[in-house]
Every structure is written in structure tokens, then in C-alpha cells.
Amino acid sequence: MKTTSLGRQLIAGVLLAEFICAASFSGVAVMHEMHGHRRAFDVMLRGRGDSLLGAVQDAEDPDDNVTVDPTELVVPRQDLYQVLSPTGRVLGQSPATAAELLAHLGGTNKPGYFNFTVNGTWYRTIRFNGVRVIDREENGGVGLRRPVTVLYASPTNGMWHQTIEAVQFYIVASAVLLAVTGLALVWFLRRRLSPLQELAAIAARVSTRSWDFVPPAAVLRTSELAPIALSMDELLKGLRQAFERQRQLTGDAAHELKTSIAVLKSSLQLLSMSPRTTDQYAAGLDGLQSDTERMEELASRMLALARLEEAPAEPGESCELQVAVQAVAERLRPLAALKQVVLDVCARDTARVAIPADDAEVLCSNLMMNALQHSLPGGHVSARIQLHGSIGELHIVDQGEGIPEAALPHIFERFYRADRSRSRNSGGAGLGLSICKAIVERANGTIHIQSVVGKGTEVWVTVPTTPPHDGASLGG
């Protein structure tokens, strides 16, 4: 994928805007200057035309005509002029006046300014009508009025040169400013965008092997970047914990499995190390049998936990919690009797929850089994199902030895055993409560344990109840 640089885009954008500004400014300056020069030019044309009118003299001929006296007239050589009588007769014209000029001049009779080109040279022309009074003395001071039309043209290239010269300063100044501010901008943006680059560099270094993500102070001081950096930090911490939990879990699982295999292997090797009596072999086989069963239990619990944690609950699966409690209680009665523990079940409320029937039995049997195993002879274990509105509650209380305070925060951790050697001997792999928690949380429920050493343990499981049939609500 082609990548674009934010910094370069910004620099290019700002430089473009600056260039457009400078160009517009120069253009406006040129136009303004042109306008001024044109007005001055027009005034100059008028002045020269007036001079031309002044050069119109009495021709001193019998018809009392007027003519242009070139000796009276001093005008630039490249200028063109013509003086016409109202009848269109040429009274005088510049020596260089060409036929083309005449053609242009003859086209219109309106007074005013107009432009034309001759041989690639631009001319601006003024046409105005004037009156020349002659023979004032001979006619009683009134004189003879001789109207004339004056045409005066001057090339405009001089005006262009002047305009360009006047505007040149502005254009050069704009270009220099553009260059200077452009460089300053590049430097400034690089500097200002450096937190972004630092953030990118640090983020790029993060991997599952190296979790270090310390946003630089400059990033945290930038209001746009700080939220990104902080949420990345949070995210990475969470990810890292998840990874470490996963690694820990894999390690723990490997440890449990390898230890189980080590027990089996060493038992077998010990048995075959030297000849044994039939009784010794039989005892060894018994041991192997129970080792294998333990390993089987471990494997099935690990798989159960993996299944619970990986796949989401199937919608529509539900069971009645009180049925599960009753069923488990019936199964545990012989054990309770053996341990001389009174098992008291109170499950009259109907609590239909979104837990598959098998899982509900696993939940109840894990919790009640724990209570029984940790109870002393003569103790009492009660399991109660109650409905609190739309919440079903399973409450299991024992009067057993309790859980040490230091162990309480860890009891739901996988492979955690408050008393490892004892739990191992009683067959646990430290997965029972993790499985319970996974089952309950899959049904959006909570599990909570309170315990006092020497007094006993209380377990609360609360799970939202579900409608009795899929799709049908309680109200009908």
C-alpha cells in the first residue's frame, strides 16, 4: 500500500496556499499599477492632444482655413497624430502617420480613448473635438470659429515597462518571502510533528516479545496525541496481561501434565526395576490405575475449561438450577454420609437460567463437593436456591475449615491450590473453581466466595433467569 506523509502533505498544502497568495497579490498589484499608469497615460495623451490643438494655426489662405504648424509642436517622434476638419479633410498629421493608422482612425467619429495595433505595436489614442478661433481682429474681436477633430496616438509599450518596473519589487519581495516562510514552515512543522513521529517509532517497536511502550513527554503534552498514547498504553497493558496469563496458563498446564506423566512413568519404571512379588505388582498396578484416573480427570477438566472459555454459550440453552442442585445432592449423599456431614438442600424456587444442564450440574457438583471435602465430621452443608426478582441465586454454606485470607484473591485462578499437597492428594487439579467461574460468567452471572478460617465458607452464585421457552416472554 502506498503511504502518504502527513508532514509532507501539510508542507505542500501550506506552500501552495502561500504561492497562491503571493501570485494573487502580485496580480492585483500589477492591475492596480496598470490602472494608475493608464490614467496617467490618458492625461498625458490629452495634454499632448491639447498641445497639438495649440499648434493649429491660421493657414492665412483665402478660405481662412487652419493648418497644423509643425514648428509650434514638440512631441515624441514615435507618437502619431492627425488633425481633421469637420469635412474630413486632413489639416495636418505626424510625418510617420501610416495608412493603417488612418484606416483605424477613420473608423469611428466618437470622441474618447481607444486602442489599436500597427505592426505589433500597441497604441492608445484620444480623439476629441476642438475649436480654433482665427482672425479675431479682422472680425471685430469675435473671430472665425474653425472646429477641428484631433487624434493623438502614443505607443503603450512604455507604459507596460513602467508598470512592470513598479511591480517588480512586489513580485521579488513575494518570492523571497515565499522561500523564507517555506523553509521556516518546513523546519517548524518538522519540529511540531516530531511527537507524532516519536509516537509512531515507539509504537512500531512494540511486539509480543517487547511490550515496552513509554510515550515520550512531548507526546503526552500534545492534546491530540495524548489520548491516543494513553489508550494505546492501556490497550497494550491489557494485551500484555492477557498474553502473560495465556503463557502462564500454558506453562501451568504443561507443568501439570508433565508432572502427571512423570508420576506414571516413574511408577512404571520403579515397578520394572527389580523382580517383585505378585502382591507388589498388584499394589503397583492399583497405584498406576489411580494415577491414570487422576490424569484423565485433569485432561477432561482442562478441556472443559478450554471449551467454556473459547466458545460462547449457545443461545436458547437453559436449565432449571434447582433441578441440577437436587440431582447433584442425590449423587453426593453417600459421600456426605461417609464424611458424616449433613447435606441440606432447599430448592423450591424455580430458577431457569441460561446454563446448559450439564454445565449446571458441573457447577453445583464442584461447589458442593468442595464444601463436603472441606467439612469436618458432624458438619453441615446447605445449598439453597432463591429467586430475587429476575435473578436466581445459589447459596452454598459449609462449616468447614475455611480458606486462608491470603488465598482468597487467587481461588478462581487456574491451577491455584490453597493447600497444594492436600488438594493433589484429594484429586483436585486446581481447576474446579475456574470452571465454575467460566460457567457462571458465560451466563452473565457472578460468583462470589467469602470464608473465615475455622468457621466455614459461603459461596454465592447469581445468574439472571431466562424465559421458560425460547422466544416466548414471561408475560405471554
Give the burial class of 246: count Cβ atoms within 10 A of its Cβ; 0-12 exposed, 13-18 middle, 19 or more buried.
Answer: exposed
Torsion sign across C-alpha atoms 120, 126, 129, 132: negative
Does residue number 263 form part of the binding site for other proteins (CB under 8 A)? yes
Minimum Å gap between C-beta 273 and other proteins is 6
For other proteins, the binding residues in 86-115 under the rule CB under 8 A are: none
Segment interacting with other proteins, rule: CB under 8 A, options 76-84, 154-162, 194-202, 264-272? 264-272
Residue 373 and residue 397 in contact, taking contact as beta carbons nearer than 8 Å? no
Q: CB–CB of 147/130 below 8 Å?
A: yes
Q: How far does CA 424 lie from the centroid of its chain?
A: 52
Which among 193-201, 266-274, 303-311, 465-473 is the span making contact with other proteins, rule CB under 8 A? 266-274
| 9 versus 289: smaller Cβ distance to other proteins | 289
The mark string for 408-437 relative to other proteins (x by CB under 8 A, - otherwise) is ---------x-xxx--xx------------
Give whichever of 291 and 359 is closer to other proteins, judged by the CB atom: 291
269 binds other proteins, rule: CB under 8 A: yes
Instruction: Tell me the site size for other proteins, rule CB under 8 A.
Output: 25
Q: Which candidate, 266, 285, 265, places its Cα nearest to that of 277? A: 285
388 sits in the region (left: phi over 0; alpha: psi -120 to 50; else beta) called: beta
Q: Does 406 bind other proteins (CB under 8 A)?
A: no
Contact 438, 305 (CB under 8 A): yes
Position 258 contacts other proteins (CB under 8 A)? yes
Angle at 341 between CA 340 and CA 343, to 5 degrees: 135
Least distance from other proteins to the Cβ atom of residue 412, Å: 18
Give the nearer residue to other proteins in terms of CB position, either 215 or 402: 402
CB of 269 to other proteins, least distance (A): 4
CA–CA dist 135, 376 (Å, integer): 153
Q: How far is the CB of 320 from other proteins (least distance, A)?
A: 40
Closest by CA to 313, choosing from 267, 358, 266, 369, is: 358
Residue 235 host element (H or E): helix 226-273
Handedness of CA 154, 158, 164, 168 (dihedral sign): negative
- 297 binds other proteins, rule: CB under 8 A: no
- 127 C-beta neighbours (distance < 10 Å), count: 20
102 or 263: CB nearest other proteins: 263
DSSP-assigned letters across all residues of 158-170:
HHHHHHHHHHHHH
- The residues in 214-253 that bind other proteins, with binding defined as CB under 8 A, are 251
**Given 14, 264, 313, 408, the residue binding other proteins (CB under 8 A):** 264
Does residue 266 touch other proteins according to CB under 8 A? yes
What is the smallest separation between the CB atom of 265 and other proteins, expressed in angstroms? 5
Residues that bind other proteins (CB under 8 A): 251, 254-256, 258-259, 261-267, 269-270, 273-274, 287, 291, 417, 419-421, 424-425
